Amino acid sequence: MIFMKKVIFAGITFVLSGQFAMAAENSVESLQNFSKHVMSAEGSFSQIVTDKNGKEIDNSEGTFVFSRPGKFIWKYEKPFPQYMICNGKELWIWDKDLNQVTIKKAREAIPESPASILFGNGNLKDSWNVKDLGVKDGLSVVGLSPKNENLNFSKISIGFKGKVPAYLEFVGSLSETSKIQLKDVSYENKFPVKMFNFEIPKGADVVKLD
């Protein structure tokens, strides 16, 4: 499941909850307002991954922190710890059990991925086809599909409860599906810049991708 989680992040890291100062008429406007106006948040999440036949292949929990532009911490805590930390310039992915650290340039890891929705400041419609999908299970749902067809996922759905996104669903290129529930989210917190730097553990195997 290590590879799957990396794909989900590259195909995620995922959109987080926020409160908006302006009213939104539909889920598309709520998402646009979130990406432009919510500058930081923290909370926890649960995630279930199923294969193309609907069989559960992974179940995990964790926490997150983000601060625009480009700084975040995404931690899988259970069942196996894996941390993803970005300071806006570099992204570290640490598998605690293997004590292995993968390092990437943030500019290559974030653009044209769902992380750009969460951490970026650009126009969503530059990289995404965005559509209001109406109401499902009491949530107002927005759908996104990447304009770049060479990514590891085919579509994203984000469910808003009022003005707050509370549910995410990612469909991968092999029809695997990741469903993420957001919990205990707080907004517009102040985070020190240094918390988004990662100190490589002693003895760790380091893989640097240029």
The CATH code of the domain that includes 9 is 2.50.20.10
Classify residue 210: in a domain, yes or no.
no
**208 in any annotated domain:** no
Task: Let me know if residue 146 belongs to a domain.
Answer: yes
Domain assignment present for 114:
yes
Residue 140's pLDDT is what? 87
- Residue 28's domain comprises 2-203
For the chain, the DSSP string reads: -HHHHHHHHHT-S-------SS--SSHHHHHHHHHHH--EEEEEEEEEEE-TTS-EEEEEEEEEEEETTTEEEEEEEESS-EEEEEESSEEEEEETTTTEEEEEEHHHHSTTSHHHHHH--S-HHHHEEEEEEEEETTEEEEEEEES-TTSSEEEEEEEEETTEEEEEEEEETTS-EEEEEEEEEEES----GGGG--PPPTT-EEEE--
pLDDT at 9: 53
Determine what percent of the chain is predicted with pLDDT higher than 70.
78
- Regions in the chain scoring below 70 on pLDDT: 1-25, 108-124, 150, 162-164
What's this model's pTM, rounded to 2 decimal places?
0.80
pLDDT for residue 93:
92
pLDDT at residue number 3: 46
The per-residue pLDDT for 59 is 95
168 in any annotated domain: yes
| Predicted local confidence at residue 14, as pLDDT | 40
Provide the number of structural domains found in the chain.
1
In a domain, 8, yes or no: yes
For residue 164, being part of any structural domain is answered with yes
Answer yes or no: is 192 within a domain.
yes
